Homo-oligomer: A and B are copies of this chain.
């Protein structure tokens, strides 16, 4: 839609929550958990008409860069930025912003995590376009309309409707853009329930839309040392180890007065654990691959290859890979991390 639009795909995650399918060199964003292709590839494809390969920038880690290049052969290799170490999102996006701005002084960034799932792609794209419509002079984030009282996410409380937003709301058939009243930390359950009932709180989904130069200017305003290190360097890699590790939320979004939030509702999931392969309603089990389930429900049954067979069990996660099987309660699926930690303590590199 706009020849200045760049996608910035954040693909540096090292998540251990999808063990045993995810491993150190095969983290979540490289996996095909939903049977529709690896999540990074899907993220690229969902927006590639807005940001073609030559306007796609991927930020990943050095160890994952070869796999990322293999997965996105269309993207010019110099658009794949390999971080020597994880520095959180503010430096990663700043590096991408300098690269984009060098290619196009009017570059506008769509910053998208590469490990999220989106069920309703048309609704997602409509929301994207609403967000982009404000990105010329604001830092825009998407706030997901909550579907349940989630305690695992940060929230964004929307404030007054933005004037331009009302116009675009009409044009795109949905709510427009809002000022941000407050950012809120992960709530307890009672607070999350109140947020859900109140209708003003949205999930912080980590998606950002803004001109590259505006982001760098706002970073320079609120985190001047960090911005100076990155923009002054001939080679960002040369100064990387000295950079502050800080999130864009903390460095810029929670401090800037140029923020807007665009509500969206498009079957979004951050795919935070095996639990998230099912929705939050009780119901039939989730099956991936070759599965036989007798007399069970509310299971997540995942056969990377081979067969998962269950009889008479419910509310479980069961994952089979060639060299490992994981079993844990569906509603405590984040405890997979404890297994990974035990493997790390035991030095079991063969399984990490």
**Which residues of A pack against B, CB within 8 Å?**
20, 292, 294-295, 303, 305-313, 316, 318, 320-329, 332, 335-336, 338-339, 342-343, 348, 351
Contact = CB atoms under 8 A, between A and B. Distances in A.
A290 to B, nearest CB: 9
B324 A310 contact: no
A329 to B, nearest CB: 5
Copies of this protein in the complex: 2
A306 B294 contact: no
A244 to B, nearest CB: 35
Given A294-B335, A320-B320, A328 B343 contact: no
A322 B335 CA distance: 24
A348 B292 CA distance: 12
A242 to B, nearest CB: 39
21 contacts: A292-B339, A292-B342, A295-B335, A305-B323, A306-B321, A306-B323, A307-B348, A307-B351, A308-B327, A309-B324, A309-B326, A309-B339, A311-B328, A311-B332, A311-B335, A311-B336, A312-B332, A312-B335, A313-B316, A316-B327, A320-B325
A318 B325 contact: yes
Contact of A312 (B312, B328, B342): B328
Given A307-B351, A313-B316, 12 more contacts: A292-B339, A306-B324, A307-B324, A308-B324, A309-B325, A310-B326, A310-B327, A311-B328, A311-B335, A311-B339, A313-B328, A322-B322
A345 to B, nearest CB: 10
Contacts of A312: 328-329, 332, 335
A339 B306 contact: no
Interface hub of A295, A309, A338 (most chain B Cβ within 10 A): A309
A92 to B, nearest CB: 32
Nearest to A309: B339
Contacts of A309: 20, 324-327, 339, 342-343
Contact of A343 (B292, B316, B338): B292
Contacts of A326: 309-310
A23 B328 CA distance: 27
Interface hub of A295, A311, A336, A351 (most chain B Cβ within 10 A): A311
A295 B325 CA distance: 16
Nearest to A299: B327
A336 B312 CA distance: 10
A323 B336 contact: no
A198 B48 CA distance: 79
Contacts of A307: 20, 323-325, 348, 351
Contacts of A316: 313, 327
A326 to B, nearest CB: 5
A303 B323 CA distance: 9
Contacts of A342: 292, 294, 309
Contacts of A338: 294, 311
Q: Which are the 5 A-B pairs with shortest beta-carbon distances?
A: A320-B325, A306-B323, A307-B324, A311-B335, A309-B339
